[in-house]
Amino acid sequence: MKVRINRALISVSDKSGITDLAGDLVKMGVEIISTGGTYNKIKEAGISIHKVDEVTGFPEMMEGRVKTLHPAVHGGILADRKKESHMKEIESAGILPIDMVVVNLYPFKETVSAPDVRYEDAVENIDIGGPTMIRSAAKNHESVAVVVDPSDYSKILEEMQENGAALSTETLYRLAVKAFQHTCEYDSVIFDYLYGRIDNYSDTEINIRPGLKIETGISEGYAGRYKDDSGGFKKDIVLSFTKIQDLRYGENPHQKASYYSSLPSNAGSLVNARQLQGKELSYNNILDTNAAFQIVKEFKEPCVAVIKHNNPCGAAMGSSVAEAYKKAYECDPVSAFGSIVASNMRWTAEAAEFLSDKYVEVLIAPEFDGEALKIHSDKKNLRILNIGFDVESNVSRLQKKDFTTNAVDIKSVDGGILVQELDEGIDNRDKFRVVTRKKPTDQQWEDLIFGWQIAKNVKSNAIVLVKGMATVGVGAGQMSRIDAARIAIDKSSGRCNKSVLASDAFLPFKDVVDMAADSGIVSIIQPGGSVRDEEVIEACNDRGISMIFTGKRHFRH
């Protein structure tokens, strides 16, 4: 079955290809109605066209806010051609059917992507008439063609030219599906932008829907794209992302890949980092850079992480960024070859000098000294990213007692996705419990807490050894905890003596304690919760090791 197109309404924000489309439609005997700037562009091309106010009998109102919201337009679009009563009603009202709607929407996404966008400009770019016409046409798709993508113009014209200005019902259906996808994504971006500004109304209670109250600011049970009024995840989640770029390939050369961002996204997000130098980022670069910056962003003092294959081969804090980098690098210099380096503070010339003779894939920091960039300028393969990140405000947010993350971790599985809260935030030392007779010293406490923060960023099973606020050994991604401990100790090359050990999950047996004691490790931090906790505690007491239970696990698969 085919539908002959006799009358088309065209109103587009993106006017690419529109005069060619209109000209070819007119050649096939299609009458065209249009609005505002679209009308002017088509008219200037010498193409026969009618203004929409000739159809409605009303001029555009309120600076264009009201122009197509009229029965003469929507009656012509929505009339069901199969129902005699519908056709009689529009005939008696003097309404002519509209068989094609060509509409694309105000550039809301592009508008709010601008770093200095004004709220008033964002609101003015919320399209009303456009989505209404698209939905009307898509609902009546058995009789009406709805076209939202300029890349479809040539295919539609080709089919119409082959079929006497008609389109098949299969084409109409596919166009309708695409149209609903278009309006769904459009509304999703608007929601994200408006919800992202909700903290601007910190003294206001907002009821988004019956039974759902948002107390603005950071609070328990936040609502939004992912969560419902109970603080649990919603029954249905709509995801909307925009492509940043196509990548050369994915994890391996035979896999295609692209890079997307959600809108709006925070200034301190990786997707908003500016590349200052180097060749294009790869899929693996992006994953590892994200993992590296996730570590350093939670610390208030200078912190540097060195990442390889999504695991830290070194992380440290220091009195300066240069000192932190040196300490992090020294944890595992062999693995640091071809690594990703992240700093939570301004990258200095001193740090740049230390990096200058090392092979690093990506360097990311909130700021860079001019001299540091000059030092790196001859390393053409070094990708340098400047991320707009404020350490003070982020750490303050993470330290709030009522902190509940609004960020989520999404992983794909066959036929679906898994969604969980992001494991971020600084664990409260007040909830930790010393379970051994021996107590950690003040320095050991600092190392234990640092190691605990690093352990949550290491693939499970994870063991992290720390001394002097720097990792000295990391055992990652092992099937047994004793193997992870053995790897961490071996990688320390003896520096584990007088270090502390952090384990991302409980110690199921006392074997890790015995190995730690034999290697000179003086204190352990772990969640606790094993059926053999008492046996593990007693082993620590026997070997003179202090141990802390956190009551919280940090698996990372």
User: What is the per-residue pLDDT for 54?
Assistant: 72
Same domain assignment for residues 357 and 479? no
User: What is the per-residue pLDDT for 198?
Assistant: 61
Tokens linked to 508: 């199921």
pLDDT, tens digit, 9 for 90 and up, residues 310-332? 999 999 999 999 999 999 999 99
Same domain assignment for residues 469 and 343? no
- Per-position DSSP letters for 10-58, written without gaps between them: EEESS-TTHHHHHHHHHHTT-EEEE-HHHHHHHHHTT---EEHHHHHSS
Number of domains comprising the chain: 3
Same domain assignment for residues 372 and 484? no
AA letter at 11 = S
User: What is the per-residue pLDDT for 214?
Assistant: 37
* Distance from chain centroid for Cα 324: 29
Whole-number average pLDDT of the chain: 86
Does 163 map to a domain?
A: yes
Same domain assignment for residues 445 and 323? no
Q: Domain ends where: 150, 168, 196?
A: 196
Percentage of the chain exceeding pLDDT 90: 53
Structural domain that includes position 20: 2-196
User: What is the per-residue pLDDT for 220?
Assistant: 32
The residue ranking higher by pLDDT, 214 or 393, is 393
Does 394 map to a domain?
A: no
AA letter at 191 = F
Q: Is the pLDDT at 215 greater than 80, yes or no?
A: no
Same domain assignment for residues 335 and 282? yes
Same domain assignment for residues 367 and 449? no
Domain CATH number, residue 308:
3.40.140.20
* Distance from chain centroid for Cα 345: 23
Does 272 map to a domain?
A: yes
Does 422 map to a domain?
A: no
Same domain assignment for residues 381 and 452? no
The residue ranking higher by pLDDT, 209 or 404, is 404
Same domain assignment for residues 299 and 154? no
Nearest to 500 by CA among 535, 469, 536, 479: 469
Same domain assignment for residues 139 and 71? yes
Same domain assignment for residues 377 and 440? no
Cβ burial of 179 (10 Å; 0-12, 13-18, 19+) is buried
Q: Is the pLDDT at 70 greater than 80, yes or no?
A: no
Nearest to 166 by CA among 33, 28, 21, 32: 28
Least confident piece of the model among 172-181, 403-412, 437-446: 403-412
The residue ranking higher by pLDDT, 382 or 430, is 382
Q: Is the pLDDT at 203 greater than 60, yes or no?
A: no
Domain CATH number, residue 184:
3.40.50.1380
Does 406 map to a domain?
A: no
Q: How far apart are CA 475 and CA 485, in angstroms?
A: 6
Give whole-number Cα distances, 295 to 61, 171, 336, 551, in Å.
53, 50, 16, 21
Residue 199's pLDDT band, with cuts at 50, 70 and 90, is: low
Q: Domain ends where: 370, 389, 408?
A: 389
Sign of CA dihedral 430, 432, 437, 439: negative
Contact 2, 163 (CB under 8 A): yes
Q: Domain ends where: 155, 181, 196?
A: 196
Residue 404's pLDDT band, with cuts at 50, 70 and 90, is: low
User: What is the per-residue pLDDT for 505?
Assistant: 96
Q: Is the pLDDT at 526 greater than 80, yes or no?
A: yes
Q: Is the pLDDT at 97 greater than 90, yes or no?
A: no
pLDDT, tens digit, 9 for 90 and up, residues 462-479? 999 999 999 999 999 999
Same domain assignment for residues 17 and 130? yes
User: What is the per-residue pLDDT for 524?
Assistant: 98
CA within 13 Å, CB half, 117: 21
Residues 6 or more apart in contact with residue 428 via CB below 8 angstroms: 401
Same domain assignment for residues 107 and 165? yes
Least confident piece of the model among 16-30, 183-197, 540-554: 183-197
Q: How far apart are CA 541 and CA 536, in angstroms?
A: 9
Nearest to 97 by CA among 105, 106, 87, 82: 87
Does 414 map to a domain?
A: no
Does 421 map to a domain?
A: no
Task: Check residue 213 and report its DSSP letter.
Answer: E
Contact 384, 276 (CB under 8 A): yes
Q: Give the 3-state secondary structure of residue 365.
A: strand
Does 532 map to a domain?
A: yes
Residues marked active site are found at 139, 309
